[in-house]
Structure 1
């Protein structure tokens, strides 16, 4: 055999080996780089740039959620997690879905909706640019009407680059049908910085006082209501002082004055006061799922009147008292705090130190007899177990039926809400990235 023939054979062998290596690499890429098998992006690649950090991590089946210390009722060995999305999220309880905003570019965002049980993406909205500072996420809320649920994103700012006055300022709302992501854009001229809420069957836009507008999420119809149209109850001198539109209800706007409150065209608090209270002392604190939480003064001269307030949960449609409790003053201040939260099926209500069972009509204030060491309860489950913290930020769970609180270990994360049998645990990691971790309830 000649030297040339030997060299030729070596070249052929090297080429064959290289070809085999390339083929193996191609096969490896084909089997490992595909749709992601259970990724909450449904096989879609995350967009380039900032939004890549907001893509959903693999779902519960992949077991990639961070293993946080949580109450024993939740299984932290299986779950899903989203990193880098908006710290504010919305929940559609009946549909069992969670909505979050993610950044697509430096100035554009989009809404992503995932199943609470499993973390699978259901739909993703089109990217859009808010009117407000794009350095911060736009605002997000949930609203329900006529058995339908909606996610709403909103921002406030000027129209165009040449806006010169408050007349050029608008509230821009994007209303999404939770079922399929159908989107409706609504722009509402608004001179002052708005307050926007979705506590009733409509999106309430107000100036923090008596002027307001209600956006119907089903039709997009906007109904503006001026202070002169609030239908003040007869004989209520305090109703025209410190007037504030609080929420939309099935029967109309819930409005409060210095001491009393009413539903425009519906009921007046003076005729719905809990027994043993001053009928002209009611102040609503918050509204949630057709329930109004209000504070009342006890009748002068009655037992405990100098030290205790009565807190009642009212039906927003009729004003009927559904449950009541009393707390020492000033353990809880009226106004926008405490925020009421209902269990998924609506039997239990918690708000600050208060816990109510609407089925039995009972309530309890979780504090010491002298008013010290109050709890701050923010979530409650259908089993009647509530979660929150103490005044020193120690995590706690409280059995509303047994009226017994239990302190948890300092490193335990408590759920912000439970939906579809899944607890949602928002937190921030060491890189200052917001994360939302979800674990299923055991059993």
Structure 2
């Protein structure tokens, strides 16, 4: 259905047509440039450059670009469509998903406003891909607030096609705080242990896998200890035990261990779409087995090791640190003080002679530049500017350059535009896009 909203203003006794908006609503999908009852579309500023001028690395310009003020705490990127999605609160604890073109800052489609489960709060936002299609997914957890639905809790997901905003809602009954990720072709909901559900973004179908249905690799006693669903791959769920990991119905880490590692010691530390970063003990008798570990990037579909590097034994919290970040095209991966060139099959561990991590890398671009900070405990701290001196690392030279102390680091780069985040004194989040010029 198409509606035309026309506002007339009386100026000097003359009726002037002031605003004409085209609002398209179709089956719960998004609308390009839609305003609706919650106000007109609010495009990013871009004519004279963003109003906020942050101190950024010299390869970006702040004289051009775009700015969004008052976005929610999360955003999501679709590199194939060049869109960025963000949430805003519109009224009465209702939220709307908006998009923009990352290259121009021009507003894209917007979803309809909706109310998440109770208690109210900004839903979470992520990106998932399946069958050469990308989707933005908002999710929240709680109880229905209409007083009519039974008091059970559930995970509510709204799945939007990144191209046109077509929306599908899926509600999954769930007990206890969920973990929701999208490292494979579906949206994975887990309880932090071995119970899980996978939502197909194309069909909306929900597949539940109970802990009692988990099959363990033959002969792996450690797999049955501290069993946890760690992510999803194109071949199925990735699970791990106290040691060793496997894909349900697929490959097993003991059979895909990297050369020089003890095959019974693998622990996945971070999962990204198509890739797994795992830590291994060196083989018994190896010269540096007492002081070093092996860190390997594996292909998530086959378990095949792609590139490895030896490093001292840094702090590690599986599932959180070191956090793997992959460049948009998938050619580079950084995680903590580790950096991997996946095409050249080279890895590097940035550490001091005594083994202390020299830096924490938090973002990486297709051009082969990675950004981070010294003394930061994790990627979030580095991007927040709370982790010591900002730095830039080059995959061409493997050298590290120190940046000025107040430099804001790009959280991501897409379409030649760096994405930056900043919170003002009124606690409003600003998303900024500054083009790369060098």
TM-score range, shorter chain: 0.7 to 0.9
- Do residues 101 (structure 1) and 96 (structure 2) align? no
Aligned pair partner of 2:71 in 64, 85, 107: 85
Conservation of the 8 A alpha-carbon contact between 1:84 and 1:435: yes
User: Higher mean Cα deviation, 331-340 or 136-145?
Assistant: 331-340
Deviation at 1:401, TM superposition (A): 2.9
Deviation at 1:44, TM superposition (A): 5.9
User: Higher mean Cα deviation, 400-409 or 207-216?
Assistant: 400-409
Aligned equivalents of 2:362 and 2:20: distance in 1?
A: 38
**TM-score, with length taken from structure 1:** 0.87
Deviation at 1:323, TM superposition (A): 1.1
CA distance 1:46–1:305, change in 2 (3 Å): farther
Aligned pair partner of 1:144 in 129, 134, 143: 129
The C-alpha deviation readout for 1:48-104, integer Å capped at 9, x for no partner, is 6xx89x94442x334234221111111211010000010211111111111100111
Conservation of the 8 A alpha-carbon contact between 1:169 and 1:191: yes
Secondary structure, counterpart of 1:228 in structure 2: helix
Aligned equivalents of 1:216 and 1:163: distance in 2?
A: 25
Secondary structure, counterpart of 1:76 in structure 2: coil
Conservation of the 8 A alpha-carbon contact between 1:71 and 1:412: yes
Aligned pair partner of 1:354 in 338, 341, 348: 338
Secondary structure, counterpart of 2:254 in structure 1: helix
CA distance 1:26–1:417, change in 2 (3 Å): farther
Aligned pair partner of 2:200 in 216, 219, 226: 216
Q: What's 2:379 paired with?
A: none
CA distance 1:379–1:47, change in 2 (3 Å): farther
Deviation at 1:406, TM superposition (A): 1.4
Aligned equivalents of 2:275 and 2:51: distance in 1?
A: 35
Aligned equivalents of 2:305 and 2:125: distance in 1?
A: 31
Q: What's 1:290 paired with?
A: 274
Structure 2 residue runs without a partner (length 5+): 1-9, 22-30, 376-386
Aligned pair partner of 1:406 in 367, 388, 401: 401
Structure 1 residue runs without a partner (length 5+): 1-21
Q: What's 1:7 paired with?
A: none
CA distance 1:234–1:25, change in 2 (3 Å): farther
Secondary structure, counterpart of 1:77 in structure 2: coil
Counterparts of residues 419-430 of structure 1 (less than 5 Å):
419-430=414-425
Aligned equivalents of 2:35 and 2:109: distance in 1?
A: 14
User: Higher mean Cα deviation, 66-75 or 267-276?
Assistant: 66-75
CA distance 1:133–1:305, change in 2 (3 Å): same
Counterparts of residues 24-423 of structure 1 (less than 5 Å):
55-58=42-45, 60-134=46-120, 136-159=121-144, 160-161=146-147, 168-391=152-375, 392-423=387-418
CA distance 1:42–1:193, change in 2 (3 Å): closer
Deviation at 1:24, TM superposition (A): 6.8
Aligned equivalents of 1:63 and 1:333: distance in 2?
A: 41
Deviation at 1:230, TM superposition (A): 2.1
Q: What's 2:380 paired with?
A: none
Aligned equivalents of 1:219 and 1:410: distance in 2?
A: 48
Secondary structure, counterpart of 2:393 in structure 1: strand
Aligned equivalents of 1:418 and 1:343: distance in 2?
A: 8
Aligned equivalents of 1:124 and 1:112: distance in 2?
A: 4
CA distance 1:264–1:172, change in 2 (3 Å): same
The C-alpha deviation readout for 1:241-288, integer Å capped at 9, x for no partner, is 100101111100000110100011110000111111110111111221
Conservation of the 8 A alpha-carbon contact between 2:194 and 2:228: yes
Aligned equivalents of 1:23 and 1:137: distance in 2?
A: 41
The C-alpha deviation readout for 1:106-148, integer Å capped at 9, x for no partner, is 31001001111111121000100000422x2111111001110
Aligned equivalents of 1:63 and 1:190: distance in 2?
A: 45
Q: Which has the higher helix share?
A: 1
Task: Work out which of the two has the higher radius of gyration on C-alpha atoms and give 1 or 2.
Answer: 1
Deviation at 1:331, TM superposition (A): 4.1
CA distance 1:328–1:114, change in 2 (3 Å): same
Secondary structure, counterpart of 2:65 in structure 1: strand
CA distance 1:42–1:162, change in 2 (3 Å): closer
Conservation of the 8 A alpha-carbon contact between 2:49 and 2:62: no
The C-alpha deviation readout for 1:375-414, integer Å capped at 9, x for no partner, is 1111111121101111143211111231211121111111
Aligned equivalents of 2:227 and 2:276: distance in 1?
A: 17
CA distance 1:238–1:95, change in 2 (3 Å): same
**TM-score, with length taken from structure 2:** 0.88
Secondary structure, counterpart of 2:63 in structure 1: strand
Conservation of the 8 A alpha-carbon contact between 2:230 and 2:319: no
